[in-house]
Amino acid sequence: MASEEHCSVPPRWRSISLTHVEFPAGDLTGQLLAYTSLLPIVILVGFVTLIVFKRELHTISFFGGLVLNEGVNWLLKHILREPRPCEGAHATLTTEYGMPSSHSQFIWFFVVYFFLFLYLRMHQTNNARCVELLWRHILSITLLGVAFSVSYSRVYLLYHTWSQVFYGGVTGSTIGVVWFFFTQEVLTPLFPKMAAWPISEFFLVRDTSLIPNILWFEYTVTRSEARCVLYILITILGGKAICDFILRCFQPCLHV
């Protein structure tokens, strides 16, 4: 296990291709945690994908909060200027400062904001109350596990100290709470007007803030639309089949 006590004898490090996240060679746990620490990148890619295909204002606001959170982290690092543990242990670093941990701050912002969105923004619209609550609790526990894993990976791999990870988590959680309520109380009432802007209509940007459960809404709308199209196709094809049958029956008479 890589720990701060082993700084005097640094291990031989290996890096994950393209990302340059390093882990001790031959350490399976370290390798797994190195991949775990890449989850913020996966989340960012997921947000970009959602914005491109969904173009929903609340998703864009969520992403904007993540960008703001990263800006605050950069500012704090360059104000505090606290070095990372085991200086020189890693060859490739975006910055030499470690307070607060950007990974910890990022993942805790995401998790806390998602918690608030899950329990305060989304409301029940069907009768599956127990099932609805169950999947929310399971998802919440999973997200907590992800947050702790990402935070622990930064200490295990000697990128940060426990205090840097802790304060990163506190900072990210605080910004997550503030940004959620700012979005709900200040931005959400403005979303209908923003969705009506010409530029929003041109890029098909939409507002779903008035829909209590967007997943249930999209499911029912998609299902209804599919049934409607299927009915039209059956009607058209069925009518064409009847016409073909009549023509075949009266074709001899038409040639007389």
Q: How many angstroms separate the CA atoms of 73 and 164, rounded?
A: 11
pLDDT digits (tens, 9 = 90+) for 38-67: 888 888 888 888 888 888 888 888 999 999
Mean pLDDT of 112-117: 90
Task: Round to whole Å and give the CA distance between 34 and 153.
Answer: 7
Residue 254 reports pLDDT greater than 50: no
Q: Which has the higher per-residue pLDDT, 31 or 1?
A: 31
Q: Is the pLDDT of residue 160 over 90?
A: no
Q: Tell me the angle at which helices 162-182 and 57-80 cross, rounded to the nearest 10 degrees.
A: 140
**Domain segments of the chain: what residues?**
4-202, 213-256
- In the numeric block, which tokens belong to residue 152? 């622990």
Q: Residue 108: how many CB atoms within 10 A of its CB? A: 26
What 3-state class would DSSP assign to 8?
A: coil
Higher per-residue confidence, 95 vs 148 = 148
Lowest-confidence region among 56-60, 75-79, 89-93, 144-148: 89-93
As given in the structure block, the two tokens for residue 210 are: 């008035």
3-state helix, strand, coil in the chain (%, to 5): 70, 5, 25
Phi/psi of residue 206, each to 5°? -130, 165
How far is Cα 86 from Cα 221, in angstroms, rounded to an integer? 56
The reported pLDDT for the residue numbered 125 is 45
One-letter amino acid for residue 211 of the chain: I
DSSP character at residue 203: T
pTM for this prediction: 0.76
Non-local CB neighbours of 102 within 8 Å, separated by 6+ positions: 70, 73, 74, 77, 168
Q: Model confidence over 191-244: pLDDT tens digits?
A: 888 888 888 888 888 887 777 666 677 778 777 777 777 667 666 665 555 555
Question: CA 165, CA 169: separation in Å to the nearest integer?
Answer: 6
- Chain-centre distance for alpha carbon 59: 9
Least confident span in 89-93, 155-159, 187-191: 89-93
- Across 30-39, 106-115, 118-127, least confident range: 118-127
Percent of the chain's residues with pLDDT above 90? 18
